[in-house]
């Protein structure tokens, strides 16, 4: 079991770090390829097929493992992020609390050092053996112009 510090979810989302990042690369490339093949303006009905192909490309174990590694979740890396990376979010939340607001928690925004708030098993391997997966190679979108 891993306990994540409050206000840290945006940094520790494997889906955001890997899957959605890959989708943002693959989907425009699929659209470019379709536009080159179709030779006519794309319509709404044309959108789902390239999205489906891009989505399937992102569904790999390698991309999933990279997401957990990039977030410091597997293998566990308690030093992946510095405490200062979470202060901006905490300060933003503090400004949203009005003086008239009632708060049940006496100090809900007191930031703890990341290592005090993030814990997990001492065995930092993802499974019985260490993962040897490497980061997926980046896909570079085509820079060719799309014909009109």
Mean pLDDT value of segment 10-36: 92
Name the more confident of 62 and 3.
62
Asked if the structure places residue 31 within a domain, the reply is yes
Total domains present in the chain:
1
Query: 39: alpha, beta or left, given left = phi > 0 and alpha = psi -120 to 50?
Result: left
For 61, the domain range is 8-85
Asked if the structure places residue 32 within a domain, the reply is yes
Asked if the structure places residue 100 within a domain, the reply is no
| DSSP type of residue 45 | G
The predicted pLDDT at position 83 comes to 75
Mean pLDDT value of segment 125-139: 48
Q: What pTM, to 2 d.p., does this model score? A: 0.54
Asked if the structure places residue 110 within a domain, the reply is no
Asked if the structure places residue 57 within a domain, the reply is yes
Name the more confident of 124 and 33.
33
Q: Enumerate the H helices of 84-142 as residue ranges.
A: 87-96, 114-117
């Amino acid at each position: 079991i891993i306990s994540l510090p409050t206000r840290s979810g945006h940094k520790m989302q494997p889906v955001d770090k890997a899957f959605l990042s890959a989708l943002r690369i693959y989907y425009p490339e699929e659209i470019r390829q379709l536009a080159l093949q179709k030779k006519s303006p794309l319509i709404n009905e044309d959108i789902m097929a390239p999205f489906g192909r891009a989505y399937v490309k992102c569904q790999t174990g390698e991309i999933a493992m990279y997401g957990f590694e990039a977030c410091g979740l597997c293998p566990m890396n308690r030093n992946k992020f510095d405490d200062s990376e979470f202060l901006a979010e905490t300060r933003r939340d503090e400004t949203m609390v009005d003086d008239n607001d009632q708060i049940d928690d006496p100090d809900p925004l007191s930031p703890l050092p990341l290592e005090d708030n993030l814990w997990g098993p001492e065995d930092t391997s993802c499974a019985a053996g260490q993962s040897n997966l490497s980061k997926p190679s980046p896909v570079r979108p085509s820079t060719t112009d799309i014909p009109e």
